A and B are shown apart, each in its own frame.
Chain A
């Protein structure tokens, strides 16, 4: 039983690390501010949640894993709000969105 839980823990933590890495690559690769907000706001959220899921498997069902679940809920609620706040201020202050027609203007 311990081994199976550890196996799932390792799989989910590795998956989470992969998504965090892809999120960082996305922040560098995407052409403008808004698309970068997509990368950081979504891929990183998934990465953190997989990470926490892996840690919950590692910990088993007790008080600590419940607290980890609270962290996951908190991340899921705040991460989109942060992405939204950044994108909104960017639009108000005049950061132009990149479009396919204009190319990397």
Chain B
């Protein structure tokens, strides 16, 4: 299997190197303006100074390696895909809320909970966080654990579990960082954990390491 090309290999030069910082500074400045509500020069200068301080601190934080050796830096999100993804996510939030509300109000409550585990090949920790959050927000699934590449997910009924392991959402998250990826590539080693003991042991073994 060939390694998928990442977005950062396509871009180059100054913009690639400082893109994250510019984006971050822009967002922080917008946050400052919204929260302060004053648009005169004095407040904007104070804001710019604070933004510069925060960006400087964050720049150093992004280069500290985490427990498994990865850094948060060195990954470039594709912004226009992120905006489309957020729209999709809002629709999913509405769908999941109404779906669980329907299950709640259904007289016989047709649920069949199960715990599913799968391996995802997302490229960096931030993508895993986005996927974990998205799984919880999409209909009928709840992320229980993320460790290394393995996701443990609690699903309410069979349909939601099938939708989850089809890898559609993993591919959507993957496309935020990679140029091309397919659902089959993203979601492998699917297992339904029959016994509770199995699920619990897996977390505890990995916690002791």
Contacts and interface: CB of A to CB of B under 8 A. Distances in A.
Interface of A: 19, 22-23, 25-26, 29-32, 34-35, 37-39, 41-43, 45-47, 49, 63, 66-67, 70, 76-77, 80-81, 83-84, 87-88, 91-92, 94, 96-100
Contacts of A67: 34-35
Contacts of A70: 31, 34-35
A31 B203 CA distance: 23
A26 B203 contact: no
28 contacts: A22-B104, A22-B105, A25-B104, A26-B104, A32-B113, A34-B144, A34-B154, A43-B100, A46-B97, A46-B98, A67-B34, A76-B89, A76-B137, A80-B133, A80-B137, A84-B143, A87-B144, A88-B145, A88-B203, A91-B144, A91-B199, A91-B200, A91-B203, A92-B204, A94-B200, A97-B113, A100-B111, A100-B112
Given A43-B104, A80-B136, 16 more contacts: A19-B97, A26-B101, A26-B103, A34-B113, A34-B154, A37-B142, A41-B142, A42-B93, A45-B137, A46-B96, A81-B133, A84-B132, A84-B143, A88-B145, A97-B115, A100-B111
Interface string B93-130: 11011101101110001011111000000000000000
A80 B92 CA distance: 13
Binding site secondary structure of chain A = helix
Contacts, number: 116
Nearest to A49: B93
B15 interface: no
